[in-house]
Structure 1
Amino acid sequence: MFLAHAGDSDPFEPPTKIIVLKDIGTPDGQWGLENLQDVFIDICTFKSDDMDRPAFVCVSEEGKVWFHLPTRIEEDIADAGLFKPTSLGLGYLGGIKQLNGDLFAFGFRGQIYRRAAPGKWEHFDEGLLGSTDDEFDLTDMCISGGSFYAVTALGSGGRICSRSNGIWVDEFNPSGDWLNAVAAHPASGTVWVCGRNGALLHGDAKSGFTSAGNLGCYEEFLSIAFFKGQVWLNSANAIYTFASGALSKVDTGLVPKLQNAHRLQVVGDVLWSFGYDDVARFDGEKWTRFVCPGTKLFTPKA
């Protein structure tokens, strides 16, 4: 399940199209669609002892959190966003993730909120939260070895931050570039970071971070995934692997070639590439394109 803005609609105006795919192993798949009158900007899967089944959870720029269950549940992060009466005015949210059993929403100027209980969201950003004069965006989070990690873009340079003893602290970013994604290797626990100008780093809070990318690579890497023993990365219109100290561009063999890629995600034994106009999956041997209804024109509700 994922989000898409499609057709001629303004991507910063509602509705948001929620697209559900049941992967049956064929290019047509089984799709479901729903338009929501909010600008939702990220989605994740959430499992909780309070719910009898996993939920897909969406978050809006203004801090509305929507749980996709048989009965729709909506919550509000009061401090988030820009235009609500309760907002701190620090900026929009941009992401949502479940880490170590808890749900986190995060965004501009270092905002991080943890869902402490149903309907109760608390700040998780001491040492990281900025002020209205700051210009940086918290772009991603992960957890490894009991420590949380976060990365930022915008401002004078990207930051890598780790959290210990309840406080976020800065780690050295040897690339100096804006950073878009951070992920922990499921086997080794090594933290990988990627971003602008080919930035690719690995390490942790104890040993520090080291550059691993190719000199002369100026791609802006947007996300990281671990699949079949390799590190996978994507830019806006290409997919790469990193192995044996070198980056390699992936030839999907698709005709026409892959139009764009926005996010990589591993689900079970399959690697997915989600783009603004293209959706594809890789089973370790073959790439298959899925014709997504979200890439077709649709008429917003009046």
Structure 2
Amino acid sequence: MLYTAGVDDNADAAEPLTRAYQYFHGKWEYGEFPASTQRIALYRRPEGGRIAVYMSRSGELFSPEPSFQNQSIHAKDMENKKKLGYLADLRQVASQLLACGDGGQNYCRMNRDTWAPMDISIFDDYVDVNWAFEIKARGNTGAEQDRYWEENPELKRERTRRISLFNKSLSLHAINGPSLDNLYLCGAKGAVYFWNGERMEKLSVPTSAYLLDILVEDPDTIWICGRNGTLLRGNARQGFTAIPCDDGPTFSTLTRFDGRIYLSSISNPRGVFVHDGRTVRQVASGLRRDLADVHTVDAVEGALWAVGSRDVARFDGTAWERIKIPKWSD
């Protein structure tokens, strides 16, 4: 079973739309929903069964499964207190759905209708734009304004402080972990946070690259990937080390299949990469047209999937197979 999200080439860019595709036993089906898709999570429900849950950038949740109750993650009572912004990732850990995004947002689904921050202390505070830029230099010329700041250094420092608060932004792009009291979050400027069930701790890692995905191999082996060919391995207790990679691909996702770590790269060199325990190298699929359009890799027992904007392929451990996309998906 493969779940993907797409949009019609002729769709109105101003009107959010998702075609939720499902590929099962060689057949494609789809349904349309009036929302865009940022992330898809495979959700194993407490009452049994598993479904695909789709999340938009604005935090709307929906599913092709009719029994799933559509909902919104954002807490309206925080809109004028915290900066908020878009959401980036949706993941299930243990029995709970988790989400993270811009402004340091980190949420856990507490019950069917309620989402709550795990640690609100790392959320960026809301800063009013008028207050941030209220202090202005007097004068009609640059020289006059420079002189004003020289004569009023305290006002200049206060102006700088306010603008710095306004521009502050903790962008989190991925959340994952072995358990609900052993979670990792990552994002812009090499940010990696660890949640121990009570509070967030910022970890030191050997990169300042934008980090995009997290894979749990086991409780002591956490993989994090991102831009500039970044691949980290480690944990909160022992720290993280960088795995060398040439050419600087942008690793957008990673997964484990057949004892190896596979990654997707969305910028040159584009395609599927593999870490075999020694090096990171690009995969040659052997297909007539090699894999270049790949933004996501994921694995289930017996199959590695590579998904792009207009390409889907599957690897069984021996050979790659390109999956034919039906004409009605255009």
Deviation, 1:117, is: 0.6
* Partner of residue 262, structure 2: 232
Partner of 1:68, secondary structure, is: coil
Matched, 1:175 2:175: no
Matched, 1:138 2:172: yes
Contact in 1 for aligned 2:93/2:178 (Cα 8 Å): no
Deviations 1:67-110 (A, max 9, x none): 33243521122427x9xx89955101122110121011221112
Deviations 1:120-179 (A, max 9, x none): 1111133432234323321111113651001012xxx12111012511111112022111
* Partner of residue 190, structure 2: 158
CA distance in 2 between counterparts of 1:294 and 1:48 reads: 33
Aligned residues: 284
Greater fraction of residues in strand:
1
Q: 2:57 aligns with which of 51, 55, 61?
A: 61
Paired residue type of 2:40:
I
Change (3 A) 1:269 1:173: same
* Partner of residue 315, structure 2: 282
Change (3 A) 1:162 1:72: closer
Change (3 A) 1:78 1:218: closer
CA RMSD of aligned residues (A): 2.4
Contact in 1 for aligned 2:19/2:31 (Cα 8 Å): yes
Contact in 1 for aligned 2:220/2:234 (Cα 8 Å): no
Change (3 A) 1:178 1:295: farther
Greater fraction of residues in helix:
2
CA distance in 2 between counterparts of 1:127 and 1:112 reads: 10
TM-score of the two chains, using structure 1 as the length reference: 0.86
Partner of 2:92, secondary structure, is: strand
Paired residue type of 1:141:
I
Change (3 A) 1:291 1:136: farther
Deviation, 1:189, is: 3.7
CA distance in 1 between counterparts of 2:173 and 2:31 reads: 27
Question: For residues 60-139 of structure 1, what are the structure 2 equivalents within 5 Å?
Answer: 60-79=56-75, 88-132=82-126, 133=166, 134-139=168-173
Deviation, 1:40, is: 2.3
Matched, 1:32 2:62: no
* Partner of residue 300, structure 1: none
Partner of 2:294, secondary structure, is: coil
Unaligned runs of 5+ in 2: 127-165
Paired residue type of 2:58:
E
Change (3 A) 1:115 1:39: same
Deviation, 1:294, is: 8.1
